[in-house]
Amino acid sequence: MSTSTKIVRLVTGTLLVIVIVVATFALLRPWTRTWGATEAEVERTLPGDELIERVPSDWTHGATIDAPPEEVWPWIAQIGDDRGGFYSYTFVENLMMGEEVYHNANRILPQFQNPQPGEGMIVDSLQVYDVEPGKWLIAVVKSGVEGFDWVWLWHVEPMGTNQTRLLVRQAMRLPLEASNPLVSMVTDLGAFVMEWRMIEGLKLRAEGGTEPAGIEVVEILLWMAALVAGLGAARIFLTRPAWQAPLLLGLAALFTLIWFTFWQPPLWLRLVFDVGLFVLLWRVARSTQRLVGAQRHGRNRA
């Protein structure tokens, strides 16, 4: 295959991936802002709203937890970097910090059950602003951080006889130099993945569950496996005459990565999809190799 053909395929494939990713992110963004919350909850006035003018891009996320508020609140009270963690992806948090600070607790920590205004939750930048024990906790960025405002609320209330409705609201204003659509979209989607995991982690613990040791490593490996399958398909697409099958397989791997990232299906289902991708990759590689062999054989006979 000629070099010019490879370049055309590289450019075409790259542009196609960019278009799909940007379009998918644009479609997902409105959904990520109100995940789990009803329309009434999104419009509802909550503690902390008076601290910053609300805009449509603010987040309100919700979850119903099968435990009473008094069993949910202790997990919220101890949230913080060097406290009980945020029940999210610690490998991402520690990577951003540059050191191993975050550890997600799987038990109630008595020493962190009385958060007070001014206490740091992310180093000293995000601090407890106000708290109503058993009902809500508000955190804000430390005053004086120029060009950046952040208000974060955890709000719980009873639902039925033995359930809790959790609402998590965030209002974040980036500095002017970072307030462009691309940066805002990437920030929103990345933060959503972390908050989704936080809510699910909090819910799991409040309902009496524990997070298995090493689960983050398993999730990373399963995500990387889908990426490797996609890269393998891309290599075949760029180097073999037949392009339709590897292109379709590469797109399937891309959508699998998006699915793993934003919907986070059960681990067994991720494993099934990864195995399926590698089986298809093997079959595509074999079929394209056979085609190359047949073409060489035909040229030799000629």
Q: What's the mean pLDDT when you consider all of the chain?
A: 90
Token pair of 205 as six digits: 């613990």
CB 138 within 8 A of CB 46: no
Give the residue with greater pLDDT, 167 vs 244. 167
pLDDT band of residue 298 (cuts 50, 70, 90) is: low
CB 238 within 8 A of CB 10: yes
**Rounded mean pLDDT, 226-238:** 95
How far is 143 from 277, CA to CA, in rounded Å?
49
pLDDT, tens only, 141-156: 865 555 678 999 999 9
How far is 250 from 263, CA to CA, in rounded Å?
20
Residue from 213, 175, 211, 168 nearest 192 by CA: 168
Give the residue with greater pLDDT, 242 vs 31. 31
Helix 267-301 with 215-239: angle, nearest 10 deg: 20
Amino acid at 227: L
- Residue 1 CA: distances (Å) to CA of 210, 241, 271, 295, 300: 54, 7, 35, 12, 17
How far is 126 from 3, CA to CA, in rounded Å?
53
Q: What is the pLDDT of residue 74?
A: 98
Residues of the chain with CATH 3.30.530.20: 35-211
Q: What is the pLDDT of residue 292?
A: 63
Q: What is the pLDDT of residue 149?
A: 86
pLDDT, tens only, 22-49: 899 889 988 999 999 999 999 999 999 9
What is the percent of the chain with per-residue pLDDT over 90, rounded to a whole number?
A: 69
| pLDDT at residue 194 tops 80 | yes
| pLDDT at residue 302 tops 60 | no
**Rounded mean pLDDT, 286-295:** 73
- Cα 109–chain centre separation: 26
Q: Residue written as tokens 């990759």?
A: 281
Q: What is the pLDDT of residue 143?
A: 57
Model confidence, pTM: 0.88
Pairing of strands 149-159, 59-65: unpaired
pLDDT, tens only, 195-220: 999 999 999 999 999 998 889 999 99
β-sheet bridge partners, residue 153:
138, 169
Question: Class of 35-211 per CATH?
Answer: alpha beta
Sheet holding 163-173, edge to edge: 59-65, 163-173, 149-159, 136-141, 126-132, 120-122
